[in-house]
Amino acid sequence: MKDFASVQVNWPRKDYSRVPYSIYHDPEIYQLEQEKIFRGRCWNVLCLEAEIPNPGDFRVCHVGDTPVVVNRDDDGELYAFVNRCAHRGAEIVREPWGTAKEHTCIYHAWLYNRKGDLKGVPFRRGANGKGGMPACFDMKNHNLVKVRVTSFNGVIFGTFHHDMEPIEEYLGPLFTKHVGEMFNRPVKVLGYQRQRINANWKLYPENIKDAYHGSLLHEFNRTFGLSRLTQVAGGYMDEKHRHSILFQYKGSDSDEEALKAYIENGVKKGEIAGLNDYSMVNIIDENPFGMSTRVMNVFPNCFFHQIGNTLAMRKIRTLGVDAFELTWVLYTYEDDSEEMVQHRLNQANMVGPAGLISMEDGEALEMVHRTTKSAAEEEMAVIEMGGIGEIGDRDTRVNEVTIRGFWAYYAQLMGFAPEGAEQ
């Protein structure tokens, strides 16, 4: 294993209110993240059970960079293995989804079952009495690398650590409650939206934890009152500050008072525009906690949103230090009326790569990544909105403390948290 003792990060403040820009660009940090975060002591989201409903169904998912095949066996059980042949490393499953009895590597036809156990090696005993594997070769020692999987209300998580705590414990009570509520009955997948963003992956959880930008970058939010800094809102975390939920209550401010506040704060483009068709921003009441929007990050690669009536699990896959893929898995409930399904499909206009309140995020992240590349070692992001010092929950969107929560947990896992740092 590579020695990463040399990987150091200069945190000038113990509350993570300064983040050195180099952290987005250092290839050694990126490699260490694969080991300590994605293959480390975390539960990574893989996919939804509804994406692989039948025996034999599989999906290729990613844990960081690592391709992982998730599949369902005849008994309905879920199994996952790394998609790398135990012979000489070829990719085994070559289609992103499908149904298969077993998996055969095309290179030399080694055969694996759905659990990832090696079941066949052609010409193991040679041919015509010649060649073949040595007598000491035992197939049992050459299974694929297994990923432990667990399903939380139909959301499949995986980990390389077979002794990870149960998922409910990892989520903690707040996220068990909210993720559990979003998946409190069987769901049906509506489809995918994907985008490739030329930015370091950490900028995405930062963005999702950034309550401050929601109505400044996304003017649609401000214009139609979906999310405004003047609303009743908040940013909460689990006790380790690694997961986050941002939420707000539409209608808890008035257009007039919002317009006034934004103009007073120098945001000139505050005009309220009209739509021809308001169904897109019309929210049918279904959140039992009354929130019009909630967006969660379950550390490290997993996100959930309820934005009005659009529901999705989002996940990221790293593509090197400079890029990641973001996948939005849109869903509906099996017991939804056809009308509700259509409403959710229409509201999906707000999200994804062309989303009226999400397209800007891709651009913001690419801008940050591009310009911080040339920053000097001592140049840093300033994260002080919502206060400095102790990391905790806030009942406002004028808040970035949740971002500091991300860095605090991240630095601990990476093993380079400064002495006496906030946690």
Partner 1 sequence: MRDLMDKPAARKTDRSIPMEVRQAADDLIMDSTVHLDRMELDAWIECFDETAEYHVIPRENLEVGYGAAVIRCNSLDVIKDRLMVLDVSSKYNPHWDRHFLNGTQYLSYEDGILEARTNFMIVQSSLEGFSKLFVAGHYEDKIVMTDAGPRLRSRVVVLDTFSVPNLIAVPL
Q: Which residues contact partner 1 by CB under 8 A?
A: 95-98, 189-198, 217-220, 222-223, 269, 271, 273, 275-277, 280, 325, 330, 341, 345-346, 348-349, 352-356, 359-360, 362-363, 366
Tell me which of ligand FES, Fe ion, partner 1, none is bound by residue 107, counting a contact when its beta carbon lies within the kind-specific cut-off of 5 to 8 angstroms: ligand FES
What residue 85 binds from ligand FES, partner 1, Fe ion, none (CB within 5 to 8 A, per partner kind)?
A: ligand FES
- CB closer to ligand FES, 104 vs 402: 104
Which does residue 111 bind out of partner 1, Fe ion, ligand FES, none, counting CB within 5 to 8 angstroms by kind? none
Q: How far is CA 173 from CA 164, 169, 219, 239, 315, in A?
A: 17, 8, 33, 9, 22
Between residue 351 and residue 380, which ones bind Fe ion under the rule CB under 5 A? 361
Closest CB to partner 1 among 263 and 275? 275
Pairing of strands 118-120, 111-112: antiparallel
Judged by CB, which is closer to ligand FES: 85, or 199? 85
Does 400 help bind Fe ion (rule: CB under 5 A)?
no
Residues 117-146 interacting with Fe ion (rule: CB under 5 A): none
Which residue from 308, 193, 302 is spatially nearest to 245, judged by alpha carbons?
A: 302
Kindly state the smallest distance separating residue 318's Cβ from ligand FES, in Å.
24
* Closest by CA position to 235, among listed 408, 15, 422, 397: 397
* Beta carbon nearer to Fe ion, 253 or 361: 361
Q: Does 51 bind Fe ion (CB under 5 A)?
A: no
Contacts of 287 (CB under 8 A, 6+ apart): 294, 306
Buried-state track 124-161, b at ≥16 Cβ within 10 A, e below 16 = eeeeeeeeeeeeeeebeeebbebbebbebbbbbbbbbe
Q: Name which of 133 and 263 has its Cβ closer to partner 1.
A: 263
Shortest approach of ligand FES to residue 132 CB, angstroms? 15
CA distance 423 to 16: 10
**Distance between CA 364 and CA 347 in Å, rounded?**
23
CB of residue 83 to ligand FES, shortest distance in Å: 11
Burial 199-220 (b: 16+ CB within 10 A, else e): bbbbbbbbbbbbbbbbbebbbb
Q: Considering the complex, what minimum distance in angstroms separates the CB of residue 73 from ligand FES?
A: 22
Tokens representing residue 120 in the block = 């066949």
Interacting partner of 386 out of partner 1, ligand FES, Fe ion, none (Cβ under 5 to 8 A depending on kind): none
Binding partner selected for residue 356 from partner 1, ligand FES, Fe ion, none, CB under the kind-specific 5 to 8 Å limit: partner 1
> Is residue 238 involved in binding Fe ion (CB under 5 A)?
no
Based on CB atoms, which residue is closest to ligand FES, 88 or 260?
88
Which residue number, 183 or 262, has a Cβ lying nearer to Fe ion?
262
Q: Please report how close the Cβ of residue 116 comes to partner 1 at its closest, in angstroms.
A: 22
Based on CB atoms, which residue is closest to ligand FES, 50 or 105? 105
Partner whose binding site includes residue 366, from partner 1, Fe ion, ligand FES, none (CB under 5 to 8 Å by kind): partner 1
List, as one string, the DSSP characters of 333-362: ETT--HHHHHHHHHHGGGSSTT-TTTHHHH
- Amino acid identity of residue 23, one-letter, is I
* Residue at token pair 């995405």: 204
Is residue 218 within 8 A of residue 341, CB to CB? The reply is no
- Name the residue nearer to partner 1 (CB basis): 11 or 220: 220
Which residues make up the interface to ligand FES (CB under 6 A)?
A: 85, 87-88, 90, 105, 107-108, 110
Cβ 47 to partner 1 shortest distance, Å: 13
Q: How far is the CB of 71 from ligand FES (least distance, A)?
A: 18
Q: Shortest gap between Cβ of 367 and Fe ion (angstroms)? A: 13
Strands 97-99 and 57-63: antiparallel
- Rg of the chain (C-alpha set): 23
Give one word for 233, left, alpha or beta, with left for phi > 0 and alpha for psi -120 to 50. beta
Cα distance between residue 228 and residue 214, in whole Å: 7
Q: Residue 115: phi, psi to the nearest 5?
A: -80, -15
Binding interface with Fe ion (CB under 5 A): 361
